[in-house]
Amino acid sequence: MKQLTIWMSAILLAFTISNAEAQEIDTSNPYKMLEQIAERMTVRITEERNAIENNPGFLRDIMREELLPHSDYQFAARQVLGRNWQRLDDSQQEEFVSVFRDYLVTTYARVFTQYDETRHKITFGREGDYARERRVTVRAQLVEEGGRPPIRLDFQMQRRSPDAPWMAFDLVAEGVSMLNAQRSEMEASLRQNGVDGTIELLRERANREINLDEDLDVSDFTND
């Protein structure tokens, strides 16, 4: 298997942690929320390993049910288009958000084909003050068995109002923002393919088959 790049490793374990039990998600606390999502994901992946091996596409269902509700994919979709968002009419905006959501689900599912619950662990930093904040950064470290240096992960969280649930909208791994990387790719695609072509590109990626034996590299997600 090729060595995954830093941000691909970060995606792989962004919501996983070892030796934990599933519990209710506290969306009012961004720090506890991420820890609980991590716990829940580990339990489910481990317990449903046989189902995943029999039907790798089942990973899509897990991502859709466990990760998507806590991801502000609508905000992220607008952010990756930046100023180009205004070039889309209402129908195109709605379609882009829908396809971008499905693309994220498939991307996470493909990355989780590489997941080994026996070798990976993520530890979270100290909880900070968030009571009056609308955005916070939750810091963590990715630890992999084998003595490799830990990878620093910064989860960007936000809530749309003081009473709204916290949601993740970006992950910065060792200083590399996934949102910025996706924005650069979308800008290049818009120049080459236009709006409809970019939407079709995401749709094709969203419909890719999930293969447990796939040998992944970051280029598999940016140069399909």
Residue 115 in contact with residue 13, Cβ under 8 Å?
Answer: yes
pTM over 0.75: yes
Residue with the bigger pLDDT between 29 and 11: it is 29
Residue with tokens 């580990």: 42
Residues 6+ apart with CB under 8 A from 12: 4, 111, 112, 114, 115, 120
Domains annotated for the chain, with CATH where assigned, are 6-222 (3.10.450.710)
H helix or E strand, kind and range, residue 179: helix 178-206
Return the ∠ at Cα 186 (arms to 34 and 183), rounded to 5°. 45
Between CA 37 and CA 41 the distance in angstroms is 6
Q: What is the pLDDT of residue 5?
A: 47
H helix or E strand, kind and range, residue 170: strand 167-173
Report the 10 Å Cβ neighbour count for 42.
24
pLDDT digits (tens, 9 = 90+) for 125-182: 899 999 999 999 999 887 777 777 777 889 999 999 999 999 999 888 788 888 888 8
User: 129-144: b or e for each residue (b if 16 or more CB lie within 10 Å)?
Assistant: ebeeeeebebbbebbb
Q: What is the pLDDT of residue 44?
A: 86
Residue 43 has pLDDT above 90, yes or no: no
pLDDT digits (tens, 9 = 90+) for 113-136: 766 667 777 788 899 999 999 999
pLDDT digits (tens, 9 = 90+) for 58-101: 999 988 988 889 999 999 999 999 999 998 999 999 999 999 99
